């Protein structure tokens, strides 16, 4: 019991949102008559919210580096979509080249905004608000109020394609490749967890009890396998799901296992102390927004691929979804606290709320009210927990 209390006390934000996500899913599973967790709907939930997952990863870094946010990401998603449409549809450019140029455009936008924020020290709110207006205006100018469509099938596959089942004899009803992928991920997770535990023991850090550690391993492994089976029961592994998985693993490793990644936490905790300790805080802040520009471009390509069109209305409100996902997932509004996985959980909470209420027949008006209340409660929880810690 003491181990459980210790574990929850030191990870209260993370576990609170996991419990909340499970409770929300259970609620909608009951109220929708079991529709929420039908394999097809689980896959659609991933596909529909792919852009939120990608944007939330980038937004986590900007928030970690001092509680900064990026208001331009929604407009940038639309701008990149318009560029991709101009390159691939209008100019009939090779799909790979068009995607590469679109990503470079996102990189240049990130450099542009990062320079003003990190080196000129104009507040991020002002720079990204200006970016929101500039890129929305450029999008409308490029598209002239029209929609560019359709895109080639190879481009559409980014967000609507699935990994082929290497075990073709399984037929169309069950994708064994998805199950195999789940087994591989589970094994890698177990090996990684055992190595981390051994490393902590070797370096004299406190670990949870063996029994509690075993429960964690079993629970998370079960979730991984359950997701893989859900996906296998529909069409298998979506390509965009693999892209998101790679991003989550890479950025989680960067923020928790590398020295530059830990600099973000140090800077968000106390920028002045971080600078005095030798950390180049300007460079960290600059990188956060360059990275945000690139991931906004990735999200723009993913969303345009799913929509199969470059629309002047694309990206409206996306910045709010990404910011809300981070704060709901445990990121602190003051910076220095938050995780990539936590932001993904926050995005899942938003996605499940949207999906569940849509199935129940509630309109976007009610959905906005509920999401606003959830966001307010999440930030209030952050404030109250900080006061209690003092």
Tens-place pLDDT, residues 204-223:
777 767 787 788 888 888 88
* Mean pLDDT value of segment 213-235: 86
Percent of the chain scored above 70 by pLDDT? 92
Query: Whose structure tokens read 């859900």?
Result: 230
Average pLDDT, the chain: 87
* pTM score of the predicted model: 0.90
Q: How confident is the model at residue 58 (pLDDT cuts 50, 70, 90)?
A: very high
Q: Contact at 8 Å (CB) between 3 and 208?
A: yes
**What is the Cα–Cα distance from 68 to 274, expressed in whole angstroms?**
16
DSSP for 316-358? Answer: TTHHHHHHHHHHHTT--TTSS---HHHHHHHHHHHHHHHHHHH
Q: What is the mean pLDDT of residues 264-275?
A: 88
170: confidence class by pLDDT, cuts 50, 70, 90:
very low
50: Cα separation from own chain's centroid = 8
Residue 159 to residue 257: CA distance in whole angstroms: 30
Sign of the dihedral through C-alpha 112, 118, 121, 124:
positive
- Which of 207, 251, 231 has its CA nearest to residue 53? 251
**CATH class of the domain comprising 2-161+238-389:** mainly alpha
Query: DSSP assignment of 200-217, as one string?
Result: HHHTT-----HHHHHHHH
238: confidence class by pLDDT, cuts 50, 70, 90: very high
Q: Answer whether the bond into residue 62 is a cis peptide, omega within 30°.
A: no
Distant-in-sequence, close-in-space partners of 15: CB < 8 Å, separation ≥ 6 = 7, 8
Task: Please state the rounded mean pLDDT for residues 159-171.
Answer: 74
- Find, among 145, 138, 114, the residue nearest to 127 by Cα: 114
The structural domains of the chain, with segments of one domain joined by +, span 2-161+238-389, 163-237
CB atoms within 10 A of CB 175: 26
Phi, psi of 162 (to 5 degrees): -130, 150
């Amino acid at each position: 019991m003491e181990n459980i209390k210790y574990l929850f006390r030191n990870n209260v934000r993370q576990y609170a949102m996991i419990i909340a996500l499970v409770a929300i899913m259970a609620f909608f599973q009951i109220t929708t008559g079991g529709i929420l967790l039908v394999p097809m709907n689980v896959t659609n939930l991933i596909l529909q919210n792919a852009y939120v997952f990608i944007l939330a990863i980038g937004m986590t870094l900007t928030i970690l580096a001092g509680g900064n946010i990026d208001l331009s990401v929604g407009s940038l998603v639309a701008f990149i979509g318009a560029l991709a449409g101009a390159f691939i549809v209008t100019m009939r450019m090779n799909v790979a080249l068009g995607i590469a140029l679109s990503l470079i455009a996102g990189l240049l936008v990130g450099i542009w905004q990062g320079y003003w924020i990190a080196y000129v020290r104009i507040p991020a709110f002002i720079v990204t608000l200006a970016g929101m207006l500039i890129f929305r205006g450029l999008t409308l100018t490029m598209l002239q109020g029209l929609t560019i469509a359709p895109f080639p099938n190879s481009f559409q596959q980014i967000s609507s394609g699935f990994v082929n089942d290497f075990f073709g004899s399984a037929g169309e009803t069950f994708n064994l490749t998805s199950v195999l992928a789940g087994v591989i991920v589970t094994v890698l997770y177990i090996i990684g967890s055992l190595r981390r535990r051994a490393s902590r023991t070797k370096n004299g850090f406190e670990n949870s009890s063996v029994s509690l550690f075993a429960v964690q391993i079993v629970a998370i492994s079960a979730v991984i396998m359950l997701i893989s089976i859900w996906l296998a029961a529909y069409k298998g592994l979506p390509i965009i799901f693999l892209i998101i998985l790679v991003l989550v693993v890479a950025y989680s490793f960067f923020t928790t296992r590398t020295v530059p990644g830990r600099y973000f936490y140090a800077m968000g905790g106390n920028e002045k102390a971080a600078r005095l300790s030798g950390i180049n805080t300007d460079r960290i802040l600059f990188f956060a927004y360059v990275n945000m520009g690139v991931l906004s471009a990735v999200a723009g390509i993913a969303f345009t691929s799913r929509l199969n069109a470059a629309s002047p209305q694309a990206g409206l409100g996306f910045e709010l979804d990404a910011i809300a996902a981070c704060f709901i997932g445990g990121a602190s509004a003051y910076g220095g606290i938050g995780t990539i996985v936590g932001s993904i959980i926050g995005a899942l909470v938003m996605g499940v709320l949207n999906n569940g209420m849509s199935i129940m027949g509630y309109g976007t008006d009610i959905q906005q009210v509920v999401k606003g209340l959830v966001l307010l409660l999440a930030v209030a929880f952050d404030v109250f927990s900080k006061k209690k810690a003092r």
